[in-house]
Amino acid sequence: MELHSEVITTPPRPAATVVMLRNSAHGMEVFLLKRHGLSDVLGGAYVFPGGKVDAGDAQLDMDTHIDLPLDTLHATLNEPDIAPLTAAGLYVAALREAFEESGILFAQGASAEHAARATALLREGHQFDEMLALMGLRLQTSSVLPWSRWITPKMSAVMNKRFDTRFFVSAVPSDQIARHDNHEATESVWLSPRTALQQYWEGQIELAPPQIMSLAHLARHGSVSSVLEAARSRLPPVIQPESFEQEGTRVICYPGDERHSVRTQALPGPTRLIYRNKRFEPMSGFEGLFA
């Protein structure tokens, strides 16, 4: 993954992503998409389904097409500086992006057949809100829970754009199948968090630091219910990485690290990653991700 060193002068753009989970015979697994190699954001890397917030996300007929009150959604995000409608728009963006990128339709009573019909309507040129109206669907915002908030710093290690991304966690509906769209994403896979990190360590897949740290966090849970219970039990932490050079090596530190401006740790696991061996890794090696 190419490192960046320029200062980004533009403000972070609101974004949302859904970490989709399922239980399997091999333990809890997470759904990952490989972004198209020509993408200008993390091209070739494996990511969770997600993307930028669109203006239309907050313009949805909320009374008709979402299942929870705006004030409820606003409270769960722990962002008192934004309006309830803006908070609802973040939820809509998360569910819209999850559907567009993985085909999973988080809507009340939605089956695989509903998801297929919804996909067909989008391919015919209908917008997301039009599809919901045509099918009479109500988005199930209650199916996704805020997990964390990542804000790209002005000097990012891997991107030349800034995003303010809300990460949500959710159990994938059992009667729907997640798949990549062959457009923005060219491959997809279900992996346990530890296996995904092992494959990254061995150079089989590429991951960006937010995905590395999120997977390390998820690896501490043995089931989907454990993750969802944890998400319900606390408000989502804000993580704004800070990077610096140390003896010619790029270092990214996180809240709780001695070099970070926020001294309270926000996530379990390492408080810094260093770029060596063509990968981001903890000072103490692979097992340091889970210590």
Which pLDDT tens digit goes with each residue over 91-120? 999 999 999 999 999 999 999 999 999 999
pLDDT at 146: 98
Residues in the chain: 291
Rounded to whole angstroms, the Cα distance separating 74 from 80 reads 8
Report the CATH fold assignment for 13-205+216-234.
Nucleoside Triphosphate Pyrophosphohydrolase (3.90.79)
Residue 6 confidence (pLDDT) above 60: yes
Higher pLDDT, 38 or 14: 14
**Domain range summary for the chain, segments of one domain joined by +:** 13-205+216-234
Burial of 107 (C-beta count, 10 Å sphere; 0-12/13-18/19+): buried
Instruction: Kindly tell me if the per-residue pLDDT of 266 is higher than 70.
Output: yes
